[in-house]
Amino acid sequence: MRHTLFTQVLAAQLPKQFRGNSIIGQLKDLEDAGYIKVAFSPPRGAAPSRATVNEITHLGRAVARYFGTDHGLRNNDRERLRHSAAIRRR
């Protein structure tokens, strides 16, 4: 489930808001893993919690590349990541 959410985050234009307790929990897991930077809003009365994903971290992009879920990255991001990987291999 977190993989699916992470794929959605990769494909989204950031910042992006998410709602719902189960999604909030998954976003916390992705943040704890260091894949994303997210701001959580406290629940207000009957309104559900909200979270705003602001950034995919360098680690998150590397994981996306490694597991082949980088289809959501913009082309220039993909090229920059490939270029940096090629430099590290030298």
Q: What pLDDT, in 10s, does the model give residues 13-32?
A: 999 999 988 899 999 999 99
**What is the pTM for the complete model shown?**
0.70
44-52 mean pLDDT: 78
Tally of domains within the chain: 1
Residue-range definition of the domain harbouring residue 79: 2-89
The set of residues, in sequence order, having a beta carbon less than 8 Å from that of 17 and lying 6+ positions away, is 50, 51, 52, 53
